[in-house]
Structure 1
C-alpha cells in the first residue's frame, strides 16, 4: 500500500507533461501523393483524398522511415518494433516528466501506462520499474483498449488513486506508435482516412498528491454513449490491428457535449465559461462541433488544434501534447478553471475538471536533471 505521507491532503495536481515525437516526418503533400500512387484504381480515391485533406493535419511523425512504414512484415515483426521503440523512447519522457514534477522514480506509487498500438505482457510498466529506479512495490495499471480516450482515463485513474491514498504520486505514460497499425491491403475508407490522420508520439506526466504546479484536479467523470461499440474499433486479424471507423463518428460531439455540460454543472461550473479547454482532437470536426454545442469561440481549442495540425491524431497522447502547449504559453492565473477530456471507442468520454495552480508548496525530493535525451 502506498504510504499516506505526513501532511497529505485530498487533492492532486497534474504537472507539466513531457512529450516527444520521432524523427521521421511525413507531410500532407507526401501523404496525398502516396495515396494517389498506391491506390490509383480505388473507386473512392477522390473521397479518401478529400477526407485526408480536410483533417487539417499538415505533418506527422513516424517511428520508422516512410519506406519501412509502408512495408508490412507481419504482426510478429511489427509488434517487435513496438516493444523495441517503446523501450528506447519512453525513458526520456519519463525522466523529463519527473523533473517537471520535482520528483524521483522512488517517489512514484503508481504507474498508469496507456497504449492502443502494440502489445506487451508483462506491460512496459514492469520494465520501467526494473530499469529506472522505481520501487518494487510500485503499482501498475496498464490500459490498452480505451484508444484515444485513454489519455483522459489515465488522468482520471491517477486522480482517483491520489484521493484514495492522500499524498501519493502517480506517473502516467502514453506510448502511441499508430504508424505500426498501417495495413496496406485494407482499402476501406476508414482505413484510408486513418493512413493520413494518425501520428506517433510518446508522453508522460506526473499527478502529485501534494504540491506541484499545473492543473489541480477537482472532479472527474466518464460517459459512454449506448449502442456505439462498433463505431470506432479494431478488427484483430493475422496482420494485426485494423482500424475501423463508422461514418456516424463525426456526429459524436452532439452526444458527448451534454456530458461535459452535466459534469460541469455537478461541480457548479458553467462549461461554456471556463478559462481553458484541453480536449482530444481526433479531427477538426470534433473541435468545430464542440464550439457549436458549447457556444465557445474557436480560439479556446487552439492547443488541441495545433497538436492535430503539427502532429496528427496521436491517440492517447493528444491531451498531454495540448496541455504542454498551454504550459509553454505561460499558463494561467491562479485558480483559473478548466476542462480536460479524452474521446474514444465506446463511444466514450473521460473528463476532468480542475483549477490552474501556480503554487508549488510541498515539493520534496531532489529535482532530477531537466536536460534529458528525448527521441
Structure 2
C-alpha cells in the first residue's frame, strides 16, 4: 500500500481581530431590548467560552449591522478567495512546491455559498495545472477539515508520486443572525471565529512528515438534528443541540478503541491527541475522557483560546502545532473531529 504523509500545514487569518473583552460592549448593546436575566446569562456565556480572541472577515461594527443574506455572502465569497489563496501560497512557499506540481486540490467550507467553488478560483489565481483534480467539500461543518484529509489520503494511496492540498476556509461570522436570540445563536457567537488553513500531503517516497496509518469516518444513527444550519431568508441559522457533549461521551469508546485496534494501535500507544476544539463543553468532555487515559489536549485548548472555533479549519491549526514540534520517530497522533450528521472523523498518524 502506498504510504501517504502530511508534509506541511499553514494558516491564513483575516485582517480584523478583537479580544473577547472588547466585544462584550457590542454584545450588551445588541441585547439591549432583552430582559436583564437573559442579558447576564449571554454575557456569562461569552466570558466563560474559553476564547480570548477571534478573527473576522468583517469589523465588529459590520457584524452587528443589519444586512441581507446576499450582502453577507458577497463578503464571504470575496474574503474566502483571498484567505484560501494566502493559505495555499503560504503552504507552497514553506514546502518549496510549485503551484503546477499539485495533482489534487480539496477545498473545504460550509459557512457560505459560492459556485464555482473556491478551488476553481485558486486554479486561476495561482496557475494550477489544467488537469488538476478538484473536490469541494461542503455541508460537513466542523468535521470537514479531517474529511478533507481522508479524501486526500484515499486519492494518494491509489496514486504514487502525487501531491495533494486541503484548503479549508470558514467564516462563521458571516452566519451570525442579528435577530435570532436562541441559545444556539448565543453559544455559536461566543465560540466561533474566522480563519483559513492549508495542509499539503504527498505519496512521494522522499517526503518527510507523519505517515497516515489509518483513517475512518463514524456516523451516529438518527442524530441529524444535533448540529447544522437552517437556510433562512436572513442566512444560515445555527442548529446546535446542547446534548452534543453527552452524545459524544456515550459514543466515545466505540469511536476510538475499535479504530485504533484495526490499525494495530491502542490508546496507550497514542502519544498525542489532535482534537478539534468545538467549544468549551466539548473540550471539557473530551479532556475528561482522555485525561482518564493519561492524555493531554492542551494544544486544543490553546487554539480555542487564541482563535475560537473556526469550524473545519480549527483542527488543522492544532495539527500545525504538532507538525512544528520535534516529535520522536514512532510517536503516534490521533486526529479527531466531530460535525453535522452527526459524525466523527478520525486519522491516525505516526511520525
Q: TM-score, normalised by structure 2?
A: 0.94
Q: Following TM superposition, by how much is the alpha carbon of 1:41 offset from its aligned partner in structure 2, in angstroms? A: 4.0
Task: Give the SS at the match of 1:268.
Answer: coil
Partner of 2:143: 149
Partner of 1:369: none
In the alignment, which of 28, 37, 40 is matched to residue 32 of structure 2?
A: 40
Aligned equivalents of 1:54 and 1:215: distance in 2?
Answer: 35
Partner of 2:237: 242
Task: Give the SS at the match of 2:29.
Answer: helix
C-alpha RMSD of matched pairs (Å): 1.6
Contact 1:117–1:178 under 8 Å retained in 2: yes
The question of 1:225 aligning with 2:220 is answered: yes
Aligned equivalents of 1:41 and 1:262: distance in 2?
Answer: 51
Partner of 2:289: 293
Task: Give the SS at the match of 2:220.
Answer: strand
Contact 1:101–1:212 under 8 Å retained in 2: no
Give the 4+ runs in structure 1 shifted more than 6 A: none
1:20–1:292 Cα change, 3 Å: same
Residue by residue over 1:83-123, the C-alpha shift from the partner in whole angstroms, topping out at 9 and shown as x without a partner, is 11122222221112123333221221111100011111111
Q: Following TM superposition, by how much is the alpha carbon of 1:170 offset from its aligned partner in structure 2, in angstroms? A: 0.8
Residue by residue over 1:27-55, the C-alpha shift from the partner in whole angstroms, topping out at 9 and shown as x without a partner, is 22133332222113434333322222222
Residue by residue over 1:103-151, the C-alpha shift from the partner in whole angstroms, topping out at 9 and shown as x without a partner, is 2212211111000111111111111112212111111110110000000
Instruction: Judge which range, 240-249 or 24-33, deviates more.
Output: 24-33
The question of 1:215 aligning with 2:207 is answered: no
Aligned equivalents of 1:245 and 1:58: distance in 2?
Answer: 22
Task: Give the SS at the match of 1:117.
Answer: coil
Aligned equivalents of 2:159 and 2:323: distance in 1?
Answer: 27
In the alignment, which of 163, 167, 187 is matched to residue 181 of structure 2?
A: 187
Aligned equivalents of 2:269 and 2:213: distance in 1?
Answer: 17
Task: Give the SS at the match of 2:128.
Answer: coil
1:256–1:173 Cα change, 3 Å: farther
The question of 1:261 aligning with 2:253 is answered: no
Aligned equivalents of 1:318 and 1:123: distance in 2?
Answer: 20
Aligned equivalents of 1:290 and 1:273: distance in 2?
Answer: 18
Aligned equivalents of 1:16 and 1:306: distance in 2?
Answer: 20
Instruction: Judge which range, 158-167 or 140-149, deviates more.
Output: 158-167
1:273–1:55 Cα change, 3 Å: farther
Task: Give the SS at the match of 1:227.
Answer: coil
The question of 1:24 aligning with 2:24 is answered: no
Partner of 1:362: none
Partner of 1:99: 93
Aligned equivalents of 1:109 and 1:314: distance in 2?
Answer: 27
In the alignment, which of 309, 319, 323 is matched to residue 323 of structure 1?
A: 319
Instruction: In structure 1, list runs of 5 or more residues that go unmatched.
Output: 1-8, 357-375
Task: Give the SS at the match of 1:228.
Answer: coil
Aligned equivalents of 2:25 and 2:294: distance in 1?
Answer: 34
Aligned equivalents of 2:80 and 2:91: distance in 1?
Answer: 16
Aligned equivalents of 1:67 and 1:140: distance in 2?
Answer: 36
Contact 1:174–1:317 under 8 Å retained in 2: yes
Residue by residue over 1:237-271, the C-alpha shift from the partner in whole angstroms, topping out at 9 and shown as x without a partner, is 11110111112122132134221222011112112
Partner of 1:352: 347
